[in-house]
Amino acid sequence: MRKTSAVERPDLKYAAYARERLAAMPPPADPEAFSLAYHLLHLSYLVVADLESQVHRPRGWTLPGFRLMFKLWLLGPTQPARLAEISAMSRAAVTNAVNTLERDGLVERRPVPDDRRAVEAALTPKGEQAVREAFADQTRREQQWFTALSPDERSVLTDLLVRVLANRPQDTET
Amino acid sequence: MRKTSAVERPDLKYAAYARERLAAMPPPADPEAFSLAYHLLHLSYLVVADLESQVHRPRGWTLPGFRLMFKLWLLGPTQPARLAEISAMSRAAVTNAVNTLERDGLVERRPVPDDRRAVEAALTPKGEQAVREAFADQTRREQQWFTALSPDERSVLTDLLVRVLANRPQDTET
DNA sequence: GAGTGATTGTTACGGCCGTAACAATCTCCT
DNA sequence: AGGAGATTGTTACGGCCGTAACAATCACTC
């Protein structure tokens, strides 16, 4: 494995430079807030792009499609509105994702007996096999991403993220 | 401020349920790896959506457009290829982003004397004012997101993220 | 000096996502 | 029973992003 120090990474070098520049500015400039938000969003972006290109695209699918199928795998047949709520995405986005997965034969729509407005999305046998295979690959790749941290450090990182999530700011009041 | 516990959040409740389910599965299922990756990507997604809807859309712009302008604000006129490298995005994406910003009068393209292939993107006066204003709002919103953590905890979180970024896995060898 | 290979920016195409608007349906209150 | 209001899923539209292919230009070697 090739050794790569932080100064060789254009993105990390930029972040360090930006932090220095902000440190020399008066408030509301906040180098710590910038650095935290930047690295959080940047790491997430890199992980998403990596999982997409290394795991899911080679199989002919996408990461958002996998995440939806993974939820169906754990939860069983589920209404799009509930999927949207869990995923914090719009119902329209779920509709589009289900359309693509249905077109590829991975998911099917079923009517809900109690409510004629509602629909349930459910994995097909092909979809279930697809989830199992991609899940194994994705897990291995996720593990590779965090090998730099010890198990304790990974646990601390997870707990800090959960605490931020549990205390998220309110939306603008209507 | 309304009190909201984790069990009321459908997304966190799902994550806790998924972790339990994975804990009962044989390898390669890895509840810790899942939990860390899930919360990282999910938090980043929520912060991105929040900054977009609370800060930038009300001003008529977008978060990706702001991030590009912010880099130009710190770095001065910069070639798209370098912006793509720093941002870990494709040159095509930079072209599209610069097109939108140029259409809105926030950024302009300039030829580079030494290299007739190259172009420099540079902020217009309107673009510079736009960055200053949005930067103040974005910083305040970023600070709100992390009020649940103490300054020390925020520092720990940032350091852990940077260490993961500095030790990212290799792409598939060509 | 000519030619091979690399680099830069762009375009075309498809997938993802949000907002807004809409019809169908359900809920609930009177 | 009936009607106002909420909910569900969908469609239309625009913005963002990646890959692939392309022309123009540069760099480097022979």
Write out the DSSP string of A60-92.
T--HHHHHHHHHHHHH-SB-HHHHHHHHT--HH
Q: What is the pLDDT of residue B172?
A: 54
Cβ distance B170 to A2 less than 8 Å, yes or no, reads: yes
Report the chain A residue with the minimal C-alpha distance to residue B20. Answer: A74
Which structural domains are found in chain A, ordered by start?
7-59 (no CATH), 61-146 (1.10.10.10)
**Any idea what DSSP says for residue B78?**
B
The beta strands (E) that lie in A25-64 are given as none
Residue at minimal CA–C1' distance from D14?
B100
Task: Give the global pTM.
Answer: 0.91
Contact B69, B126 (CB under 8 A): no
CA dist B84 and B77 (Å) reads 14
Q: How far is CA B14 from CA A83, A86, A107, A121, B42, in A?
A: 10, 7, 20, 17, 12
Which bases of strand C have any atom within 7 Å of the beta carbon of a protein residue? 7-12, 15-21, 24-27
Cβ distance B147 to A167 less than 8 Å, yes or no, reads: yes
Q: What is the pLDDT of residue A172?
A: 54
Cβ distance A40 to B47 less than 8 Å, yes or no, reads: yes
Q: Contacts of residue A162 in chain B, CB cutoff 8 Å?
A: 6, 12, 39
Cβ distance B139 to A28 less than 8 Å, yes or no, reads: yes
| Two structure tokens written together for B107 | 């950024």
Question: Residue A100: pLDDT above 80?
Answer: yes
Q: Contacts of residue B44 in chain A, CB cutoff 8 Å?
A: 40-41, 43-45
Q: What is the pLDDT of residue B170?
A: 75
CA dist A149 and A104 (Å) reads 38
Rounded distance in angstroms from the CA atom of residue A86 to the C1' atom of nucleotide D6:
20
Q: Is A146 exposed, middle or buried (0-12, 13-18, 19+ CB in 10 A)?
A: buried
**Residue (of B53, B41, B39) closest to B9 by Cα position:** B39
Q: Minimal Cα–Cα distance from B110 to chain A, Å?
A: 22
pLDDT in tens, B7-33: 478 999 999 999 999 999 998 999 999
Nearest to A21 among B74, B156, B172 (CB): B74
Q: Is B76 exposed, middle or buried (0-12, 13-18, 19+ CB in 10 A)?
A: exposed
Cβ distance B86 to A139 less than 8 Å, yes or no, reads: no
Spatial neighbors of A70 by CB under 8 A, at least 6 apart, are A131, A135
Q: Is the peptide bond before B77 cis (omega within 30 degrees of 0)?
A: no
pLDDT in tens, B2-14: 444 444 789 999 9
pLDDT band, very low/low/confident/very high, at B94 (cuts 50, 70, 90): very high
Q: How many A/B residue pairs have CB atoms within 8 Å?
A: 208
Q: What is the pLDDT of residue B171?
A: 67
Residue at minimal CA–C1' distance from D11?
A92
Indicate yes or no: strand C within 7 A of the C-beta of A117: yes
**Axis-axis angle for helices A10-23, B63-75 (nearest 10):** 70
Q: Minimal Cα–Cα distance from B119 to chain A, Å?
A: 19
Q: Contacts of residue A156 in chain B, CB cutoff 8 Å?
A: 156, 160
| Two structure tokens written together for B108 | 């302009």
Q: Is the peptide bond before B28 cis (omega within 30 degrees of 0)?
A: yes
Q: Residue A129 belongs to what H/E stretch?
A: helix A125-145
**Residue (of A84, A83, A89, A81) closest to A123 by Cα position:** A83
Q: What is the pLDDT of residue B5?
A: 46
Judged by C1' against the alpha carbon of A118, the nearest nucleotide is: D8
Amino acid at B51: L
Amino acid at A100: T
The beta strands (E) that lie in chain B are given as 107-112, 115-123
